[in-house]
Amino acid sequence: MKGHFKLALAAAFLFASAGIFGIAAPSANADVITNPGTAGSIPQVNSGNVLKDYNENALNVVNNSTPQGNVSKKYKKYSLDPTGYNYGNSYNTIAGSSQSNTFKTKFFLPDGFNVSNFQHGNFQSVTLDGDGNIYFIESNGTNTNQGAIVKFNMAKLQQLGVGSDVLLLWRAFDYFNPYTTDGQAHNDEYNQINAQLQGAFDKVQTLTTTLNQNKSWQNNQNNYMKNAQKWYYSWKTKKAKYQKISKSYKYSYNTRAKAKKTVKTATSKMARWMKSYQMHKAKIAKYNTKISGIQSQIDTYQGQIDDAKAQNPDMFKYVDIAQTAQLSPEVDIGHGQTLSYNPQNKHIYLAEDNTLSDLASRDDNNTVLEMDPNTLKPIREYNFKMYHGDSANLQLHTLAFDKDGNAYWGRKLNGGYMFFYGRLDQNGVSFQASSSMVGKRGGSTNQGVAVNPANNRLYFVSDDILTSVPTSGIQSGNFSADDIHYQAFDSGREFESLAFDQDGYGYLMVLWPPELMQSTEPLN
């Protein structure tokens, strides 16, 4: 299929259940679907220099022996056959790998999601949250630095049969391709049905927008509650410490008197933070009730839509699959390699790295976009510098978070790979280099990093090889060659990105065609 892949169902129908836009339903016809709004004005956080400088010559270079990935930058490419049977792929680990494992095709991705006429299935990054949702970055193409984030609920896709038919997701969007005669006819046919159910569609979309917004507010309250809990226990620990001092006669009268004052202050602070904790906890409970009520209303109107679907099952099979997609506004994605989920605050992050090198001057900023995964709208944009030496200003090209919200990124250094760790969230931005680095990397490209929540290891991705180190070893700087694990392959495909579910299974995105693969075993 040639040309831009553009889903041309009436927008009020296609995105009703998924609540994609977060705005009022646009007037649409069979040929046009309006983009899902704009990013709008984004709050800016300017942090200055956030990198603790380091001496490259002082790094401990771990002398490891790595298997070899694809260093040629030449790839096997093929096209899908929309009229025939398309087999999934299966790639086994090769000699030198730390385990026996296989990546198998989960599904092929569509050629576009109607965000821009530049789209051609150029997916650059993948990440998963803790609730079974998967997110992709689709790039508009080389030199545009623009694209959109696409979100799917994996359980819904599985229920709709995508797990058993690797081409079903691709086929669902191709069914309504406006650049084919059949696709346009399918759009025209549906528009007639759509007009009869417009009222139910509008209700579902409006209520879903309200639902997503309330989920976002509830998540904020949850973050506030956890913060209050943290400070409550901090003051509780301090109170216990000074209570012992205030009652022990091995200390002077003045020391005991000061300790009593600290105990009094701590008691007051504990009461304050407990009150804050209980307030936010109560608000979360109220949101639960409100969200449940909204969902009940959605289910009522969705029932009317489902009755209509039963009258034309072939068409609505593809509509149901398309409805699982949720789109962000078109945003600056840079090279699109850094899409990552922070389990600590449940937000997603994207570095807007518009050059492949480091920043041109000390005046330039790294820019990272933080987004709400419920609405896929930007929350804030971080601007910061990372000074190294007297002149360099490092640029972020990879990014991942562990379960505690610690941020990691990595870069190539000579023939090896070095790591950075720190924080990047609403509480601040800071990074420092790990004192140890991998001496030999098995690939030439630096495609991204990902943290496996099941084993707390950080993986860096290159073509046909995944290399990992314990996050604890990165922070302490204490890891050996035996601590470095490898999953090497001989696929000849371009490895774009890696993500993990909560059980440690890997999800690998490869090109071309764009394809999501899943490991048969958790990665070690």
Residue-range domain boundaries for the chain: 44-176+333-522, 192-321
pLDDT (tens digit, 9 = 90+) per residue, 232-273? 999 999 999 999 999 999 999 999 999 999 999 999 999 999
Tell me what pLDDT residue 11 has.
34
Q: What single letter denotes the amino acid at residue 463?
A: D
pLDDT of 196 reads 79
pLDDT computed for residue 104 by the predictor: 98
Total residues found in the chain within this entry: 524
* Three-class HEC string of 456-490: CEEEEEECCEEEEEEHHHHHHCCCCHHHCEEEECC
More confident residue, 185 or 98: 98
User: Which tens digit of pLDDT belongs to each residue from 354-411?
Assistant: 888 999 999 999 999 999 999 899 999 999 999 999 999 999 999 999 999 999 999 9
179-225 per-position pLDDT tens digit: 678 877 887 887 778 777 888 988 998 999 999 999 999 999 999 99
* Mean of the per-residue pLDDT values of the chain: 88
Euclidean distance between CA atoms 200 and 302, whole angstroms: 7
| Portion of the chain with pLDDT greater than 90, in percent | 71
Q: How confident is the model at residue 151 (pLDDT cuts 50, 70, 90)?
A: very high
Nearest to 515 by CA among 52, 175, 110: 110
pLDDT of residue 163: 87
Q: Among positive and negative, which fits the CA dihedral 381, 383, 384, 385?
A: positive
pLDDT of residue 113 exceeding 70, the answer is no
Tell me the per-residue pLDDT of 21-67, one tens digit each, with 9 for 90 and over: 222 333 223 232 334 667 778 999 999 999 999 999 999 999 999 99
Crossing angle for the helix pair 253-309 and 198-247, to the nearest 10 degrees: 170
**Residue range 44-176+333-522, CATH number:** 2.120.10
| pLDDT-derived band at 9, boundaries 50, 70, 90 | very low
- Tell the residue number behind the tokens 């976009």, with chain if given: 369
